[in-house]
Amino acid sequence: MFYERIGTEFHDFNEARVSSITELSRVFLKSPSAEWKAFRLRNLLGHVFESFYAFDFDSLLRKSNAQANRLLGRVPELSYFARNFALSHCMGIHILPLESDRGCRRLAWFGHSPGRHLNGPVRR
């Protein structure tokens, strides 16, 4: 949804990269904390452009999973969810992009991941 809106609001990713936070926040109009998301998007676009001088992830696809994870970990202000979403969808890595540790605890409670995320005993 937001990806398509970037394409309609801006000519290309480079135009979005050099836009102001106010202009970028139009992409996230009905979303809570639109300015914060616009700030993170601009940081992401700037980091990708300064690293690759292009807006493609072809070089990322040629890296191992660990190298790609390290490379995405260097992006400032990139959330844990966004990094895992990129690894899952761009790289084809089989992970669930969860937004917080709370999601990990829910999976552990249902028995779908190791229980190290549980802080207390499971009630039955």
Question: Can you give the residue ranges of every domain in the chain?
Answer: 1-56, 57-124
Contact 104, 113 (CB under 8 A): yes
Indicate the pLDDT class of residue 57, thresholds 50, 70 and 90.
low
Contact 91, 99 (CB under 8 A): no
Which of 25-29, 73-77, 93-97 has the weakest average pLDDT? Answer: 93-97
In the predicted structure, residue 112 carries a pLDDT above the cut 80: no
The predicted pLDDT at position 64 comes to: 81
The predicted pLDDT at position 23 comes to: 94
d(CA 93, CA 24) in angstroms, rounded, equals: 30
d(CA 96, CA 33) in angstroms, rounded, equals: 24
CA dist list (Å): 94 to 11, 25, 84, 112: 33, 31, 10, 14
d(CA 115, CA 52) in angstroms, rounded, equals: 39
SS3 track for 53-81: CCCCCHHHHCCCHHHHHHHHHCCCCCCHH
Q: What is the model's pTM? A: 0.64
Contact 57, 49 (CB under 8 A): no
What average pLDDT score do residues 101-119 get? Answer: 59
